[in-house]
Amino acid sequence: MTEFADDPQTFRAQIRAWLERHCPPEMRSPAHGEDDICWGGRRWTFRSDAQRQWLNAAAAEGLTVPGWPRAYGGAGMSSAQVQVFDDEMERIGARSPLESFGIWMLGPALLKFGTDEQKRRYLPPIARGEIRWCQGYSEPDAGSDLVALRTRAEDRGDRYVVNGQKIWTSYADQADWIFCLVRTDATAPKHRGLSFVVFDMHTPGVTTRPIKLISGKSPFCETFFENVEVPKANLIGAENGGWTVAKYLLTQEREMIAGRARGLHDGRPLWQVVQELAGDAKGRIVDPILRDRVARAEIDALALTATIERYVEDAAHGHEIGDRSSILKYCNAELNQRRQTLILEASGADGLRWDFVRSDGGEVAPAWLRAKANSIEGGTAEVMLNIVAKRLLDLPAE
Amino acid sequence: MTEFADDPQTFRAQIRAWLERHCPPEMRSPAHGEDDICWGGRRWTFRSDAQRQWLNAAAAEGLTVPGWPRAYGGAGMSSAQVQVFDDEMERIGARSPLESFGIWMLGPALLKFGTDEQKRRYLPPIARGEIRWCQGYSEPDAGSDLVALRTRAEDRGDRYVVNGQKIWTSYADQADWIFCLVRTDATAPKHRGLSFVVFDMHTPGVTTRPIKLISGKSPFCETFFENVEVPKANLIGAENGGWTVAKYLLTQEREMIAGRARGLHDGRPLWQVVQELAGDAKGRIVDPILRDRVARAEIDALALTATIERYVEDAAHGHEIGDRSSILKYCNAELNQRRQTLILEASGADGLRWDFVRSDGGEVAPAWLRAKANSIEGGTAEVMLNIVAKRLLDLPAE
Amino acid sequence: MLAYTDDEVMLARSADDFLARFASTKHLRRLRDGRDDTGFDRGVWHEMARLGYAGVLVDEAHGGSAFGHVGAGLLCASFGRHLSTSPFLSSAVLGATALRSALASAQRCWLPRIAEGEAIVALAVDEGRRHAPASTALSAERSGEVHVLRGEKTLVVDGHVADAFVVLARTSGRPGDAAGLSLFLVEADRPGVSVRRQDMIDSRNAARVTFDGVRVATDTAIGPVDGAGPIIDDVLDAGRIALAAELVGIAREAFERTVTYLKRRRQFGHAIGSFQALQHRAAQLHGQIELAQSTVVKAARLRDLGDPRAALFASVAKAKAGDAAERATDEAVQMHGGIGMTDELDVGLYLKRARVAGTLLGDRHLHADRVATLLGF
Amino acid sequence: MLAYTDDEVMLARSADDFLARFASTKHLRRLRDGRDDTGFDRGVWHEMARLGYAGVLVDEAHGGSAFGHVGAGLLCASFGRHLSTSPFLSSAVLGATALRSALASAQRCWLPRIAEGEAIVALAVDEGRRHAPASTALSAERSGEVHVLRGEKTLVVDGHVADAFVVLARTSGRPGDAAGLSLFLVEADRPGVSVRRQDMIDSRNAARVTFDGVRVATDTAIGPVDGAGPIIDDVLDAGRIALAAELVGIAREAFERTVTYLKRRRQFGHAIGSFQALQHRAAQLHGQIELAQSTVVKAARLRDLGDPRAALFASVAKAKAGDAAERATDEAVQMHGGIGMTDELDVGLYLKRARVAGTLLGDRHLHADRVATLLGF
């Protein structure tokens, strides 16, 4: 593994050189659809040689998770260094070598709440893209209100027996392991009886069923547990202490969704997309009303990006983002919905056809429909506003 | 007094002829400011001979209150006939001969809840513009929440002694009489101890102080009562039954504010005003964004007008407007605020000067500032939405 | 003038009953998932014709029921509520309205068949991404006693099942000129006509229709050659009012289902409909739907009365109803939460149809612009 | 890059303390109600100069404190919070920035006096209702060694107390041309200059200034004659960032007062801040103010770093901050209810200043247009 220098300028040069050598040219363009994303896992089939090379090269240096400790498969970078790494990736338009719920969510939770053994067991396979994770939070009657969770885990000495149903488990049908919230004490009030457990999706009694969305096929599944046996060693954090882990994880998720906006859109500026659809020969968007609305969306996008930058800097100075991630999550969802609506409108009648794709390969109608979920998944817009009102503004409960 | 025909066409012809003969030419243009409105009352000074003639002519026929019974100073018209009368007034751009809180609010309440003696005593002077009324509802700690009213009326046998303070009493400093809500039973819960009383503003113990608004001078006052003696004969409705009268009256007020939009603006279409401020030689509003926003405001104005028309027709068919007036009130306030904001923006830097007036004499900055109150006075926007949610949509209380 | 007559109320009720049984979202799903070639149920359409729906804008002399635009609007509102598919918009509104300006012989030939649901006559107007009749490029060149049509139309509603097209063509001037436009009635089986169905997000019918040197007799022109402008506006406005009515139906149904859900669904120990933030959004939406509905009735009545303000109100209604339907369906998804995103619930079907109906014959931006132009600013 | 340094934090704190004591809304009311001729307190302004505020954009060689645009932004945010009146925007930002492009002799003459608060140099740019530098009609005709200025400027901030004006004039081309513009430094006591104060809704200083054949030496030109375009943009952007910072200060103060009121005021038996509909509106507003603040810091930092994106972000910040301040002050009135409409409360003062500051040097509509142009669409 490369020894990275402390000196920022040398460090940047190292990263630049490393990327130059190891990032295949095919991986230097934004991902357009599911097929361009590498999720890894036991059952993963690489879409191209380049995708495989890129993952292997990055994993060998710990660069799939640059901020994690080297002992657990990361590169041990400081947050300032991670920022430089991200900048340099962005500069050459490099795709992420590996996307995964293990990286975004389980990893940070394990780093904070896991035992050393748990970290050694679960983190490196995540970093190398060997094990693909899914998360089991929501249930049919417990969406925003996780306190209403009903999936129960009965204590059978050295193991739990899990029964219940989860919904919105992304890629449950392709994941190897699941981390989820279960009720270990049915008598405890509200969230006090919840525990955070992990288990293999191949365990007998686990079944999944894909969910079709208004936008078409989706990664989401319903997941059913029928007498699933889970060793107690698979408990993360304390028994009945799952709420603490889950809360931390939800914040991570919001920061992730909000802050890096990964997966929400393809990364091209809105105005370029609209310009191609509705611009004249000189590149001016002909309809002044559409042009104005795009300008306002760009203003808000630049404002949101600057806010993320500011909060991240704050965090580097010791002032955690914390509940402010709810602002980012809320605004980011709203902004992507506006983006997709404007692209749809710029496409006019063409945008109303399922088979219409943009010149750059981007989908229009499905992306517009899919974006409607941005303000629901990972915490609804309403829940985000409640958090801002109650925790940031300290407004009273009724 | 003229005998009006039942036949609609003859009736319309009669009205048209009457207006032709009696409405002075000076009264056939929209009122621009306070000075153009005739409020009547003991202390009234007519602004012009035309104003006096117009009031006298109308009052002689009962046409200041065309829908009231003839016995009480009205013209005894059906609501369909009143509609025709209004149409014909509008056709020639005639100003209302008399505006008053007595007409809009006290009158309807008396017609519904007053004794015959009360009607005979109070209604004709209202119709003739001889007595000017003000209303005392709000108090400093009871704005939207009238249940919190604290002005109390102690029972002293044949009279009450009133102590307390009212706020937002329009023209209290110029009114002759007041109708107001007072608490006659301090022990009864919430609104059950309220009564509706009327009394002369010259009664010893009544004082008023004008309120200056952000838009400048205003008709609003604070009104103070110190041991004001009110004969029990001045009670309207039952003792401790004031809430019923007040609720009816609030609905009247909303319908009035919402439905006829009197006084909210000067009646010129928004687009004409903006066209004069920001149009080119051909009358096109040059800035496409401004033009679009004006168009959307006009669409909503036409939609609101059509809705009022629809509800009024419904009412004529026996389906009362009722709580639907809250929709009208809400939309009307919002629309006038948009109107004034668009006029302000069309005026650019000029609109930011106190001394700037439009070519037609309309004020810009004061009208914009004054409009901010539209969504507060007569029931806040929030209260209107609560009413719609709870009473029209039947959404549950928490 | 805006209240409904007893006859109208009865028409609306019977339509609601009929559509709930024979042309509901359940039927739409069946057509969609079965990838039905026709895109609607011909048996149901014949039954609708028998009830007088297909002849709603056809005079009685030609076998129509002549319910007028208010009647058509009531039917469309019901179509919106149930997401019923049928060739009503294309044939009974657009086709029939256009044909009323055709030669008497053409009227005699086509109007009774439209009213009986035997023939479908579709309007071919758009060519590009935006609804812009003045941009028409499809040319109709005169050659002796015939005109030769060359060009392509898109988003032709029911194009792939039409027996004939009313085609907007340019007979002089250039694309962009408001003048120089003509309408021709072209039978679908004329040599040179080819049709390709389009796969729309609302699972409804639309087609791309190519006219490759199609020769039509000059007497198939509807209205004056080169001067069909006023007729075109009139036909399009009939369609816009119908679409606006459908949009209000969509908005109202999506909204009512949402309000029902708000009362039923519990979260954090309360019915979510008791949360004031949702209450206020619902109340605002209710107001907007009320406003939109008024514009639709007003536009339809004015048109039935021959009032010249009907054109203005057609645009007002199309803009306002499009806006209300967009907001109502967006909020329906959001307020239903995750379940609202699933194909299993009908909410998504309303969302998609609202967007297509909102775009057809001009979206709310185009109609705001037209309102400005018609008012004169 | 967007976080504040310790020095900056200290500057902001000391400004807040100072302004709360000497230039608060109370002082603004005193100036307003006393119809003060100057429109600000000269003693306070001298004290502000002593603290380095007046020289914030003046280099140390000319006696300035050179805090830069981030520092200026922090001060402006404080001015916004307290509604402090002073010639900061006109002289310390616009005047000083313009003079940095003047001849060395002019810089030596004026910059130290600006930094000391001894001289006020105002920018005269607008002529009509809209901020539109390219529309400049005021002419400067060359006549030997002098230029002769003819025309009228409006909304000249601090115009009636200025010792000199930086005047935007047309030296060639026609109103509407972006080229052909020049800047001249004109002393207020030159023959032909006349000034009339304007009565603004924010009770601040602005004046109409007439130049009736004013002769100025050609070496008073700032930057190249006929080609001052880039300098003008640079000067205006400095002012826009300062105004954006003030607007965020206004938005934040109005918002915080509102949140405090929401916690205190009770209605229907509850603190009104417990009503979810108000909570959600407050939360949205808070987010918008956060976003606006980020754009202001970003714009100021980029400018201090000489980054060419500073122009884009000046417009982004002006648009976003104007929007946030408008919403925050509108909501402040609405959420305060009736009392918010009274002159007695400060809310109205914030509302009025927000509108004026939002309009000065281009409103959010103009800057949205500029963002589109700068991004290239």
Residues B56 and B171 reside in one and the same domain = no
Q: Which pLDDT belongs to residue B262?
A: 38
Q: Which pLDDT belongs to residue B261?
A: 43
First to last CA, chain A: 56
Which CATH number does the domain housing residue D172 bear? 2.40.110.10
CA distances from C186 to C151, C209, C210, C221 (A): 13, 12, 12, 9
Residues A305 and A227 reside in one and the same domain = no
Would residue D320 count as lying in a domain?
Answer: yes
Q: Which pLDDT belongs to residue B35?
A: 78
In a mutational test of the B interface, the residue from A284, A285, A289 whose CB has the highest number of chain B CBs within 10 Å is A289
Residues in chain B, overall count: 398
Q: Which pLDDT belongs to residue B256?
A: 66
In single-letter form, the type of residue at position B234 comes to: N
Positive or negative torsion for Cα D281, D284, D290, D296: negative
CA dihedral C233, C239, C245, C248 (to 10 degrees): -90
Query: Contacts of residue B296 in chain C, CB cutoff 8 Å?
Result: 319, 368
Identify the CA nearest to D233 among candidates D101, D323, D324, D112: D101
The domain boundary residue, chosen from D199, D227, D255: D227
Would residue B115 count as lying in a domain?
Answer: no
Would residue D1 count as lying in a domain?
Answer: no
Q: Which pLDDT belongs to residue B265?
A: 60
Which CATH number does the domain housing residue D261 bear? 1.20.140.10
- What is the token pair recorded at B170? 């329009």
| CA Rg value for chain A | 22
The per-residue b/e assignment along A18-29, b for 16 or more CB within 10 angstroms, e otherwise, is bbeebbbeebee
Distance CA B123, CA B69 (A): 10
CA distances from C175 to B354, C133, C140, C228, C236 (A): 50, 9, 13, 15, 19
User: Shortest Cα distance from A293 to chain B (angstroms)?
Assistant: 10
Which residues of chain B have a pLDDT value below 50?
260-263
Query: Contacts of residue B393 in chain C, CB cutoff 8 Å?
Result: 259, 279, 282-283, 286
Distance CA D353, CA D251 (A): 11
Distance CA B82, CA B69 (A): 12
Would residue A115 count as lying in a domain?
Answer: no
Residues A66 and A190 reside in one and the same domain = no
Please tell me whether residue A314 adopts helix, strand or coil conformation.
helix
Please tell me whether residue D343 adopts helix, strand or coil conformation.
coil
- What is the token pair recorded at C163? 């027996």
Phi, psi of C376, rounded to the nearest 5 degrees: 100, 35
In angstroms, how far is CA D289 from the centroid of its own chain? Answer: 19
- CB atoms near residue C298 (< 10 Å): 27
ipTM exceeding 0.95, yes/no: no
Would residue C169 count as lying in a domain?
Answer: yes
Q: Which residues of A touch B (CB under 8 A)?
A: 288-289, 292, 398
Asked if pLDDT for residue D118 goes beyond 50, the answer is yes
Distance CA B291, CA B11 (A): 42
Report percent pLDDT > 90 for chain C.
97
CA closest to D338 among chain B residues:
B376
Q: At what angle do helices A288-316 and D276-304 cross, to 10 degrees?
A: 80
DSSP string, A368-379: HHHHGGGGTTTS
Would residue C126 count as lying in a domain?
Answer: yes
Given a contact cutoff of 8 angstroms between Cβ atoms, the answer to whether D175 and D244 are in contact is no
Residues C280 and C220 reside in one and the same domain = no
Q: Quick check: D279 and C277 CB within 8 A?
A: yes
CA closest to C356 among chain A residues:
A352
Beta carbon pairs, A and D, within 8 Å? 128
In single-letter form, the type of residue at position C41 comes to: D
Q: Give the total number of structural domains in chain A.
A: 3
Task: Identify the band that residue D269 occupies on the pLDDT scale cut at 50, 70 and 90.
Answer: confident
Q: Which pLDDT belongs to residue A258?
A: 55
CA closest to B287 among chain A residues:
A288
- What is the token pair recorded at B249? 């009256």
- Which domain range does residue A21 map to? 8-99
Would residue A20 count as lying in a domain?
Answer: yes
Query: Contacts of residue B333 in chain C, CB cutoff 8 Å?
Result: none
Distance CA D259, CA B194 (A): 32
Residue D306 backbone class (left: φ over 0; alpha: ψ -120 to 50; beta: rest): left
User: Shortest Cα distance from A25 to chain B (angstroms)?
Assistant: 44
Among B274, B294, B385, select the one facing C284 at the smallest CB separation: B385
Residues A269 and A371 reside in one and the same domain = yes
Q: pLDDT digit of tens for each residue in chain A (398 aa)?
A: 778 888 989 999 999 999 999 999 999 987 777 778 999 999 999 999 999 999 999 999 999 999 999 999 999 999 889 989 988 998 898 999 999 999 988 999 999 999 999 999 999 999 999 999 999 988 988 877 777 899 999 999 999 999 999 999 989 999 999 999 999 998 887 788 999 999 999 999 999 999 999 999 998 999 999 999 999 999 999 999 999 998 888 877 766 665 544 345 667 899 999 999 999 999 999 999 999 999 999 999 999 999 999 998 888 888 888 899 999 999 999 999 999 999 999 999 999 999 999 998 889 999 999 999 999 988 899 999 999 999 999 999 97
Q: Quick check: B365 and D201 CB within 8 A?
A: yes
Residue C80 backbone class (left: φ over 0; alpha: ψ -120 to 50; beta: rest): alpha
Would residue D258 count as lying in a domain?
Answer: yes
Which residues of chain C have a pLDDT value below 70?
none
Q: Quick check: A168 and C344 CB within 8 A?
A: no
Query: Contacts of residue D201 in chain B, CB cutoff 8 Å?
Result: 352-354, 365, 369
Distance CA D163, CA A207 (A): 82
Among B143, B144, B372, select the one facing D333 at the smallest CB separation: B372
Query: Where are the strands (E) in A125-243, listed by range?
Result: 133-136, 152-155, 159-170, 177-183, 194-200, 206-210, 220-231, 235-236
pLDDT of D345-363, one tens digit each? 999 999 999 999 999 999 9
Q: Answer yes or no: B253 catalytic.
A: yes
Residues C75 and C129 reside in one and the same domain = no
Distance CA B342, CA B268 (A): 14
Residues A189 and A273 reside in one and the same domain = no
Pairing of strands B221-231, B159-167: antiparallel
CA distances from B146 to B183, B236, B375 (A): 11, 18, 17
pLDDT of D218-230, one tens digit each? 999 999 999 999 9
Report percent pLDDT > 70 for chain C.
100
| CB neighbour class for D227 (10 Å; exposed up to 12, middle 13-18, buried from 19) | middle
Residues A228 and A288 reside in one and the same domain = no
Please tell me whether residue D149 adopts helix, strand or coil conformation.
strand
CA closest to D370 among chain A residues:
A295
User: Shortest Cα distance from A224 to chain B (angstroms)?
Assistant: 34
Query: Contacts of residue A351 in chain C, CB cutoff 8 Å?
Result: 129
Neighbours of chain C (3+ CB pairs under 8 A): A, B, D
What are the respective helix, strand and coil percentages of chain B, to the nearest 5?
50, 15, 35
- Tell me if chain C has a CB within 8 Å of the CB of A145: yes
Positive or negative torsion for Cα B209, B215, B217, B220: negative
Query: Contacts of residue C276 in chain D, CB cutoff 8 Å?
Result: 275-277
- The chain-wide mean pLDDT, for chain D, equals 97
Distance CA C182, CA C141 (A): 11
- Which domain range does residue D186 map to? 121-227
Query: Contacts of residue C275 in chain A, CB cutoff 8 Å?
Result: 382
A residues 376-395 closer than 8 Å to C (CB): 376-377, 380-382, 385
DSSP string, B8-77: HHHHHHHHHHHHHHHS-GGGSS---SGGG----STT---SSHHHHHHHHHHHHHTTTSTTS-GGGTS---
- Tell me if chain D has a CB within 8 Å of the CB of A71: no
- DSSP class of residue D175? T
Would residue A373 count as lying in a domain?
Answer: yes
* Active-site residue, from B88, B139, B253, B345: B253
Among C282, C284, C287, select the one facing B395 at the smallest CB separation: C282
- Tell me if chain C has a CB within 8 Å of the CB of A342: no
Phi, psi of D111, rounded to the nearest 5 degrees: -60, -45
Would residue C319 count as lying in a domain?
Answer: yes
In a mutational test of the D interface, the residue from C276, C279, C284 whose CB has the highest number of chain D CBs within 10 Å is C276
Given a contact cutoff of 8 angstroms between Cβ atoms, the answer to whether D41 and D82 are in contact is no
pLDDT of B140-182, one tens digit each? 888 777 778 999 999 999 999 999 999 999 899 999 999 999 9
pLDDT of C253-299, one tens digit each? 999 999 999 999 998 889 999 999 999 999 999 999 999 999 999 99
Residues B234 and B155 reside in one and the same domain = yes
Q: Quick check: D275 and C276 CB within 8 A?
A: yes
Neighbours of chain A (3+ CB pairs under 8 A): B, C, D
Q: Which pLDDT belongs to residue A263?
A: 41
Please tell me whether residue C374 adopts helix, strand or coil conformation.
helix
Would residue B166 count as lying in a domain?
Answer: yes
- Tell me if chain C has a CB within 8 Å of the CB of A365: yes
* Active-site residue, from A88, A139, A253, A255: A253
- Tell me if chain B has a CB within 8 Å of the CB of C46: no
